[in-house]
Chain A
């Protein structure tokens, strides 16, 4: 969730950082170009003014010397004297400007002009001023030097003019670049803002959808939980009916029972057991397991229990009981049910039972290993005409008979291994004075979680010495 929220924000910030960096670099570059273009323009302008000054000063020198040579009036030499001092300074300043502008050609032309000026002073101006007679040849040579000087200076001026044009063009381009850059900056800012707005909108939309989905899932989970709780309560209530069973208490036989529901509440199934005292010597025992779990299994369990007891009251023969119950369950469309019905007769240590798809009882007799008794016939609720056979176990005093549901032997998914564990547990419980059912359960599961319900019901016939004591009493 945090990644979904912060990733778009981080991407937007990164994009903004890149845009800002690009704008900054572009701004610096454009500013540098503009400053350079305007600096060039200023330098060129200054240099051209100085070129004009130099030409004017050179003209002052020439006209002063020519005037003096013609009329020999000292006053006419004043422009010459002044220009003779300022012209070299002007040429020097022009040279500085040209070097700053890195104009090599113009610097060379300027150097030629400066040399020509110095030569004119030496070979033309000084002889003409000092001579008392007109010197026509000197004046002609002087004119040629002056023409050369002006030609060099004009060359400098032309180069400066060309440079001025280029500087103006660069300045113009710089202005265009500034405009373009400003437009790009505005577009980038608009784009960044748009991206940020879109990201924010999508993020908000996604968060809203996730919140709605989460709320929907929470509501659905609550509904499922409520339905499950309801079913669990009903199933537990129905199961509590037999959990409160009170086992018959007879003189020559003792019963013990345990029922442990599945560790997973959703797996609470339809296991049950019943013990009904038919007379002081005979007890009906029933045990069963309804296929499936939850309320349906619990309802079927209660229906079968009541059917079984009702049928047993009419005729307690196990064969008869199971056949009647099976016919009724097939008629009502009940799920598959395994069951065992048996009658204990304490007078002769006999146990007669019939099984319908149910695991076989275990018999332990003192001094003998525990053994599995015969298995039965088809489960209840499938084949209306199914036949059930009554098996009779003639036991001995002190014997232990154990009835159980499949959870006691199928916990490892290997029923052969489960039977071995069960037989060992029964043999251990055979030595115990009481609490056999709980002991067998503990011996098999030893604190392990169980995946299915487990019901265990034991029948312990009294020992001979107990019977003797009873008879004596």
Chain B
């Protein structure tokens, strides 16, 4: 948990590939007590299947637990990979962290 608002914040940058598997797996773990999760991938330019698998598992777990997720994606190439993986409808995607946070706050308040 990175704030008092109960929203877990995850931030990864660069190229997410198998050599960073441990880092990615550690990052995509739901913190107990989290009411929502903000996944900031605005500066991610590439993700291999290992990273996409972790992201997908994270989303599945969060949805199962009723935790809303907002993902920030800004680079076109990573957005395309997310589309490939069929994840575009698996969570809400935003281009700015502020917008994503506002959405999650609404979810938490509701």
Residues of chain B at interface, number, CB under 8 A: 22
For residue A383, which residues in chain B have a CB less than 8 angstroms away from its CB? Answer: 56, 60
Q: Does A294 contact B (CB under 8 A)?
A: no
Q: Does A377 contact B (CB under 8 A)?
A: yes
State the Cβ distance, B91 to closest chain A Cβ, in Å.
12
Q: Does A88 contact B (CB under 8 A)?
A: no
> B84 is contacted by which of A291, A335, A358 (Cβ under 8 Å)?
A358
- In the assembled complex, the Cα of A283 lies from the Cα of B109 at a distance in Å of 53
Chain B 48-82 near chain A by CB (<8 Å), digits 1 or 0: 11101100110010000000000000001100110
Chain A 162-175 near chain B by CB (<8 Å), digits 1 or 0: 00000000000000
Q: Does B108 contact A (CB under 8 A)?
A: no
Q: Does B43 contact A (CB under 8 A)?
A: no
Q: Does A352 contact B (CB under 8 A)?
A: no
Main secondary structure of the interface of B (DSSP, over half): helix
Residues of chain A at interface, number, CB under 8 A: 27
With A336-B53, A338-B49 already in contact, the answer to whether A413 and B86 are too (CB < 8 A) is no
State the Cβ distance, B48 to closest chain A Cβ, in Å.
8
State the Cβ distance, B28 to closest chain A Cβ, in Å.
13
Which parts of A444-463 form the interface with B (CB within 8 Å)? none
Chain A 397-435 near chain B by CB (<8 Å), digits 1 or 0: 000000000100010011111010000000000000000
B53 touches A415 (CB 8 A): no
- Smallest Cβ-Cβ distance to B64: which chain A residue: A383
- In the assembled complex, the Cα of A289 lies from the Cα of B85 at a distance in Å of 12
- In the assembled complex, the Cα of A376 lies from the Cα of B85 at a distance in Å of 8
B86 touches A378 (CB 8 A): yes
For residue B88, which residues in chain A have a CB less than 8 angstroms away from its CB? Answer: 375
B86 touches A355 (CB 8 A): yes
State the Cβ distance, A362 to closest chain B Cβ, in Å.
13
Which parts of A267-323 form the interface with B (CB within 8 Å)? 289, 291-292
Which parts of B83-110 form the interface with A (CB within 8 Å)? 83-88, 90
With A338-B49, A382-B57, A413-B45 already in contact, the answer to whether A357 and B80 are too (CB < 8 A) is no
20 contacts between A and B (CB under 8 A): A336-B49, A336-B52, A336-B53, A336-B56, A357-B84, A357-B85, A357-B86, A378-B87, A382-B53, A382-B56, A406-B49, A413-B45, A413-B77, A414-B46, A414-B77, A415-B46, A415-B77, A415-B80, A416-B76, A419-B80
For residue A289, which residues in chain B have a CB less than 8 angstroms away from its CB? Answer: 49
For residue A406, which residues in chain B have a CB less than 8 angstroms away from its CB? Answer: 49, 84
- In the assembled complex, the Cα of A376 lies from the Cα of B87 at a distance in Å of 9
